């Protein structure tokens, strides 16, 4: 009975990992099929990552600041 939580956590993490891999493959497929010029794709990716970092800082930093 002690192994049940570990088994459930392992199954959950496996399913989550598969979902992330499928999401990455889908995103790559979308990028290949998009009409955005190939030279502009890295810039667009940088903008998206920068926006995600700004959103993280705005919404999560006050919560995590007390743990640092």
What value, to the nearest 5°, has the Cα angle with vertex 58 and ends 53 and 50? Answer: 20
What DSSP character marks residue 3? T
pLDDT tens for 15-56 read 999 999 999 999 889 888 888 888 888 898 899 888 988 887
At residue 6, the pLDDT reads: 92
Q: Taking the domains of the chain in order of start, what are their residue ranges?
A: 1-34, 37-68
Tokens at residue 31, please? Answer: 């990028």
Checking if the pLDDT of 68 tops 70, the result is: no
What was the pLDDT predicted at 2? 80
pLDDT for 4-23, tens place per residue? 999 999 999 999 999 999 99
Q: Is the pTM of this model over 0.75?
A: no
């Amino acid at each position: 009975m002690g192994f049940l939580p570990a088994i459930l956590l392992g199954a959950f993490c496996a399913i989550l990992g598969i979902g992330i891999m499928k999401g990455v493959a889908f995103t790559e497929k979308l990028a290949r099929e998009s009409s955005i010029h190939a030279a502009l794709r890295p810039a667009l990716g940088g903008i998206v990552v920068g926006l995600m970092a700004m959103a993280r800082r705005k919404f999560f930093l006050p919560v995590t600041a007390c743990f640092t």
